[in-house]
Amino acid sequence: MCIKGIDKLAVNQTSEQHARLAACASGNSTVAHGWAACRAMEQAAEISIP
């Protein structure tokens, strides 16, 4: 379950758009959501950022 319909907005979007969308999900935790989205995409792609 997703509040605000964020899951529907993410359909057919690029990784960059996903990160921006995640950052906008909650005004009081913009950095945390954006960072978490990027980290999740890195792990899914098995990429290690130094």
Token reading at 50: 């130094």
Amino acid found at 19: A
7, part of any domain:
yes
pTM of the model: 0.57
22, part of any domain:
yes
Look up the domain containing 33 and give its range. Answer: 3-44
Give the mean model confidence (pLDDT) for residues 1-20.
Answer: 79
Q: Which residue has the higher pLDDT, 2 or 48?
A: 48
49, part of any domain:
no
Token reading at 15: 């990784």
50, part of any domain:
no
Q: What is the tally of structural domains in the chain? A: 1
34, part of any domain:
yes
> Residue 11's closest CA among 3, 21, 25?
21
Residue-wise pLDDT tens digits, 32-47: 878 888 888 899 999 8
26, part of any domain:
yes
Residue 46's pLDDT is what? 93
36, part of any domain:
yes
